[in-house]
Amino acid sequence: MKGKYTLGLKRYETSQTVAAAVFLLPTLITMFFLFVLPVFQVITMSFTNWNMATGVKDYIGLKNFEYLFTDKTFGKAIVNTFTYSVFKLSFDLVLSLLIAVMLDSHIPLKRPLRTIYFAPVVVPIVASSLIWIWFYDPGIGPFNQILTALGLPKLQWLYHENTSLLSIGLFSVWKGLGYNIVLFLAGLQNIPDSYMEAAHIDGASSKQAFFKVKLPLLSPIASFVIMMGIINSFKVFTEINVMTPGGGPLNSTMLLVVYIYQQAFTNGRMGRGSAAALVLFAIVFILTIIQKSISRKTVHYD
């Protein structure tokens, strides 16, 4: 009699279980070496003073975390990261939804416009960052030429502490806007026309139908956009490293990932870098849980 294994409410033959284990084994091994083992190593290193330059690696307990929370640069990195995230998320949500609604309407040249809005997403981030450095050039950049034509004062953009983070934020909004537009546009086109017809029959105006029918139905997509926006905003690195190396003027573009990179690879302090990475993970995890909890309540009560 063939052996059987019970999993939940289903019973599987021994051959089925063995086959499943064989097929899953390569994936499990890959996940272990690429995810589980590195996480364990980061946790372990966060409690050491491993200096890559000297090779010293001693257990020091929580001293790396104590250093982080007394380091003004780390505090500024947290403030800058939250500021950048709020700015990017706000503009991403509003602009992408607005443009998606426009593209869902009966306007000319809809197909070319969809391609134009999505084009920045597929452009390599290093290449687009280098192009925007020229856009931001205080002397010959097009942005300052536009400001001059409008009679407004020129800005230093990437080269001044008051505008450098804003400049990075504008670039990031432009770079990722097309992806969110596609998501919202797909959601709008999946709403049955009968819903809108029923709303109009009940006497609702186009504005009321949008806010009372379409917008609530888009809440799952909005939640996904917010969640992915939080994750992407807290792990931004490439554009900052290209456009404002070293964290910008007076650390004005010093974000958490940039701080982690500097501590671990520039300063050779792998322990401090690992501790900062764990703090970043904790922040993103908590924000994601809060966002999911709020979205569940909103969906439930609506």
Contact 256, 234 (CB under 8 A): yes
Amino acid at 27: T
What mean pLDDT do residues 165-193 have? 91
Least confident of 20-29, 46-55, 138-147, 150-159: 46-55
* Residues 78, 198: Cα–Cα separation, whole Å: 48
- For 59, phi and psi rounded to 5 degrees? -75, 125
For range 232-255, the mean pLDDT:
92
Spans of all domains in the chain: 4-45, 63-301
Torsion, Cα 225 231 234 238, to 10 degrees, reads -90
Identify the pLDDT of residue 12: 58
- pLDDT surpasses 80 at 2: no
Task: Give the tens place of pLDDT for each residue, 264-283.
Answer: 988 888 999 999 999 999 99
Tell me what pLDDT residue 302 has.
45
Per-chain mean pLDDT for the chain: 87
Task: Give yes or no for residue 107 having a pLDDT over 90.
Answer: no
The answer to whether 127 and 238 have CB atoms below 8 angstroms apart is no
Tell me the per-residue pLDDT of 121-136, one tens digit each, with 9 for 90 and over.
Answer: 999 999 999 999 999 9
At residue 115, the pLDDT reads 81
Sequence-separated (6 or more) residues with CB below 8 Å from residue 57: 48, 49, 50, 51
Classify domain 63-301 at the CATH superfamily level: MetI-like (1.10.3720.10)
CA distance 194 to 198: 6
Measured distance CA(122)–CA(166) in Å, rounded: 23
Helices (H), the chain: 14-31, 37-45, 63-68, 72-104, 110-122, 125-135, 142-149, 164-189, 193-201, 206-209, 215-217, 219-234, 238-243, 256-261, 270-301
pTM of the model: 0.85
Please write the tens of the pLDDT for every residue from 199-229: 878 787 878 888 888 888 888 898 888 888 8
Helix (H) or strand (E) holding 10: strand 10-13
